[in-house]
Amino acid sequence: MKRPYQVGTYALSWQSAIFKMAVALVGISVAFALVFSSLARADDGKLKVVATTGMIADAARQIGGERVVVKALMGPGVDPHAYRQTRTDIVALAKADLVLWHGLYLEAQMEDFLVALGKRHRTVAVAEALPKDLRISHADYADKYDPHVWMDPQRWAKVIRAVSDALSSVKPDAKATFDANAARHLEDVAKLAAYAEKSLATVPAKSRVLLTAHDAFNYFGEAYQFEVLGIQGISTESEAGLNRIRELVDVLVTRNISAVFIESSVSDRNIKALIEGAAAEGHTVTIGGELFSDAMGRDGTYEGTYLGMIDHNVTVVTRALGGSAPERGMTGKLAVSS
């Protein structure tokens, strides 16, 4: 009676052993495939580029296309003035064929590290390609410049060219591809500049005041004739004093400014204090929207690209301050904000 059962068990256990072995073999071959594909990826001739900011990473992706793998150290919502490299960043930087950073003291906390890295690695501070006569002087330091160059697409075009040159210098055989991609991207950036010019020109002259959390918009202001007021200075490191808030409440009230802007990479605490201060004086100020100041939008979205970031800012500012621009921006790709 037991025998068939035993045979059955025996047979079953053999079946299960064979099954387990098959599973193990599949597992091993998957593991091998992964190892080999990652080796192949690492050695497929693509240039490994690490960029500090999302804006620089975007330029490298646009120009490098299929020939590069780009990693941005600072993601959406990250403040570059305060950012310090992590252990993971240091590993990525050490393995990179090319490190692109902004310079002009934007990466204040990483500056020494990046300068030291440049002695052993190929690094380029791409915003420093901007000629001195196109830079805006830093309000607080005679020998420093405002780093927020990306806010003016025409100036940023020079940085895009510097990214292209840097890529070609480490991979000269792909120079023709890089040049062609850069030319195409620069055409889009020129369209963006024309859209910004046209939209922002519709904002009535008396309303051309851009009040934000920190001084990130000076290049924008100069390019499109806006007066720019930041609660904090050019870096977010400085604390905004109560006096500065009071001073700006006065400006809001006396000039009848009705909208101020929050920034995606800076706390909105000061902006809220400002709105409350104005309300206490009987003047209503609203939040005109959230602007991308020092970081782009979410990865994988239009706002997570340079074109989308600036399109968003231009469209939001134009519409909040009484000008006219299509709700979904230059090419209808913007997400509609509430």
Binding residues vs Zn ion (CB under 5 A): 216, 294
Dihedral through CA 256, CA 215, CA 226, CA 155, nearest 10?
-170
Taking the complex as a whole, the smallest distance from the CB of residue 145 to Zn ion amounts, in Å, to 13
What is the spatial distance between Cα 240 and Cα 247, in angstroms, rounded to a whole number? 11
Cβ closer to Zn ion: 114 or 291? Answer: 291
Cβ closer to Zn ion: 216 or 314? Answer: 216
Taking the complex as a whole, the smallest distance from the CB of residue 137 to Zn ion amounts, in Å, to 16
Dihedral through CA 89, CA 110, CA 53, CA 129, nearest 10?
-130
Cβ closer to Zn ion: 216 or 307? Answer: 216
Cβ closer to Zn ion: 81 or 208? Answer: 81
Q: What values do phi and psi take at 137, rounded to 5?
A: -65, 150
What is the spatial distance between Cα 58 and Cα 28, in angstroms, rounded to a whole number? 37
Tokens linked to 217: 């918009």
Q: Residue 11 CB: number of other CB atoms within 10 A?
A: 11
Tokens linked to 31: 């593991």
What is the spatial distance between Cα 275 and Cα 258, in angstroms, rounded to a whole number? 10
What is the spatial distance between Cα 208 and Cα 248, in angstroms, rounded to a whole number? 15
What is the spatial distance between Cα 59 and Cα 165, in angstroms, rounded to a whole number? 12
Tell me which H or E stretch contains 232.
strand 227-232
Cβ closer to Zn ion: 114 or 325? Answer: 114
Cβ closer to Zn ion: 149 or 216? Answer: 216
Taking the complex as a whole, the smallest distance from the CB of residue 294 to Zn ion amounts, in Å, to 4
Cβ closer to Zn ion: 235 or 315? Answer: 235
Cβ closer to Zn ion: 114 or 216? Answer: 216
Taking the complex as a whole, the smallest distance from the CB of residue 265 to Zn ion amounts, in Å, to 8
Taking the complex as a whole, the smallest distance from the CB of residue 148 to Zn ion amounts, in Å, to 6
Taking the complex as a whole, the smallest distance from the CB of residue 139 to Zn ion amounts, in Å, to 13
Taking the complex as a whole, the smallest distance from the CB of residue 214 to Zn ion amounts, in Å, to 6
Taking the complex as a whole, the smallest distance from the CB of residue 71 to Zn ion amounts, in Å, to 22
Taking the complex as a whole, the smallest distance from the CB of residue 152 to Zn ion amounts, in Å, to 14
Cβ closer to Zn ion: 110 or 216? Answer: 216
* Cβ 46 vs Cβ 71: under 8 Å: no
Select from 218, 198, 64, 57 the least CA-distant residue to 137.
218
Select from 171, 173, 160 the least CA-distant residue to 55.
160
Q: Residue 188 CB: number of other CB atoms within 10 A?
A: 16
87 alpha carbon, distance to own chain's centre: 21
What is the spatial distance between Cα 69 and Cα 44, in angstroms, rounded to a whole number? 11
Helical H segments across 201-284, by residue range = 218-224, 242-254, 269-280
